[in-house]
Structure 1
Amino acid sequence: MKPANADPLAQLTEIRAIMERSSRFLSLSGLSGVGAGVVALAGAAVGHFYLQSHYSGGFPELIQGPIEGRRAALPFLLLLTGVMIGVALLVAFFFTQRRTKHDGQQLWGGPARRLALALAVPLVTGGLFCLGLYLGRDAGMVMPGLLVFYGLALLNASKFTLDEIRWLGYTQIGLGLVNMLIPGLGLVFFALGFGLGHIGYGLVMYNRYERPGAAGAASKSVVAR
């Protein structure tokens, strides 16, 4: 039982922290970001070598060439994308489940469901939009579109998880806008955003919240805002 003269400000801070933990999913693992980044880099490398072996000019020739060439490459690109998403989700599930057990949170509770929905709507919309670009006359905008829509998804989801994810969203949007000016470097910007961006973000989050001695930092960060 708390003493009658307990600090009211400390009590309010504790109540706020409890409310934040019940409304936000704070157990995102930084190692999930690192794993997703490694998967993205591997996928970009596979895509690069595939396109180099089928198109003398590689990625730039694909996006600038006739639509028949893009349609021929579409099954492989969709398969590669599906594999990358599947592996990245498995990695995220493994590390995030481990952290939720450590933090005493539910992996698929209310905050996690709200986070997933906030991510899913912009991602699915952006994926379908970029598929239309790929099959139309603006294939060079596919990579910028993927980066921008992913950045918007992260900004939308930041309301339901660690606030730092906003900066990864801003990074993706910025890279996408720059990539619009040089669409021939789409694979390079994909590797920068989805690969190195995730790895850098993941390492920062791991050092801030998960490394030994950082326990409780997530709650303190939330209360400080």
Structure 2
Amino acid sequence: MQTYSLVQLTEIRAIMERSLRFLSLSGLSGVGAGVVALLGTAAGHFYLQAYYPSEYGASGYQHLLASTAEERQAALSFLLLLAAAMVAAALLVAWFFTQRQGPGQPLWNSLTRRLLVALALPLGAGGLFCLRLYLGGDAGLVVPGLLVFYGLALLNASKYTFDEIRWLGLRQLGLGLVAMLLPGWGVVFFGLGIGLGHIGYGLRMYQRYEWPAGPAGAPAASVLGR
């Protein structure tokens, strides 16, 4: 009888922990966000290649790092528009795959709001900091800064999710620190971190919790948790 009660208490505790951390997003949302990031990275690369014609084998991004303040400001509007389009497309992809997976826990609730605040504070501060770097002539530190602040945002939000998001944040942070040492490879590091990082993360979550039906009828995993 005592053993049965302990089993019940363990199950109740597991259910309570899941209710505090679960978000009903499909793992395919992470894959979609990664694909969007790769497409955006390619669009930015080809835009800079056209904006700064290649000389001596250097890429458009490398020319951007050595450009004047006026040239950087002229390219800024496109880069900001591209970033906004990538965020909007990633959100649209997340909504699409969430709707496809069927009814589940409501996507918008108090937990979602707390998680978004935890993400938004480091991301907002990091965005303004990187914008100042760009305008101040330190464009080579923009991509490393974005990766570092994004990693910190994921780590800050991980208290509302499970361990997978924490490891994703640590990978972004590590890539950002390495990218500081190789500023001319910023486009590559952005594609690796935001693009391939999310694709690998989303595939792992989908395979682990959603394919073919998740563990023993459990709800589908979240791209930000499980």
Query: Is the counterpart of residue 163 in structure 1 residue 163 in structure 2?
Result: yes
Structure 2 equivalent of residue 27 of structure 1: 24
Change (3 A) 1:76 1:159: same
Structure 2 equivalent of residue 124 of structure 1: 124
Structure 2 equivalent of residue 200 of structure 1: 200
Change (3 A) 1:145 1:156: same
- Paired with 2:64 and 2:7, the residues of 1 have a C-alpha distance of 60
Cα displacement (A) at 1:139: 1.2
- Paired with 2:166 and 2:216, the residues of 1 have a C-alpha distance of 21
Structure 1 equivalent of residue 176 of structure 2: 176
* Equivalent position amino acid for 2:69 in 1: I
- 1:4-83 to 2 correspondences below 5 Å: 7-56=4-53, 57-83=59-85
Cα displacement (A) at 1:75: 0.6
CA RMSD after TM alignment: 1.9
Structure 2 equivalent of residue 185 of structure 1: 185
Structure 1 equivalent of residue 215 of structure 2: 215
Cα displacement (A) at 1:137: 2.4
Is the contact made by 1:23 and 1:110 (CA closer than 8 Å) also made in structure 2? Answer: no
Cα displacement (A) at 1:41: 0.4
Return the TM-score normalized by structure 2. 0.89
Change (3 A) 1:218 1:174: farther
SS in 2 for 1:127: helix
- Paired with 1:26 and 1:20, the residues of 2 have a C-alpha distance of 12
Return the TM-score normalized by structure 1. 0.89
Greater Cα offset, 207-216 or 126-135: 207-216
SS in 2 for 1:164: helix
* Equivalent position amino acid for 1:58 in 2: G
- Paired with 1:25 and 1:95, the residues of 2 have a C-alpha distance of 16
Structure 1: runs of 5 or more not aligned? none
Greater Cα offset, 23-32 or 192-201: 23-32
Greater Cα offset, 13-22 or 152-161: 13-22
Structure 2: runs of 5 or more not aligned? 54-58, 222-226
Is the contact made by 2:23 and 2:107 (CA closer than 8 Å) also made in structure 1? Answer: no
- Paired with 2:23 and 2:80, the residues of 1 have a C-alpha distance of 32
- Paired with 2:216 and 2:154, the residues of 1 have a C-alpha distance of 23
Query: Is the counterpart of residue 107 in structure 1 residue 104 in structure 2?
Result: no
SS in 1 for 2:163: coil
Cα displacement (A) at 1:218: 6.6
Is the contact made by 2:24 and 2:106 (CA closer than 8 Å) also made in structure 1? Answer: no
Cα displacement (A) at 1:46: 0.6
Count of aligned residue pairs for this structure pair: 215
Cα displacement (A) at 1:18: 2.4
- Paired with 2:63 and 2:19, the residues of 1 have a C-alpha distance of 50
Structure 1 equivalent of residue 224 of structure 2: none
- Paired with 2:217 and 2:73, the residues of 1 have a C-alpha distance of 49
- Paired with 1:16 and 1:215, the residues of 2 have a C-alpha distance of 18
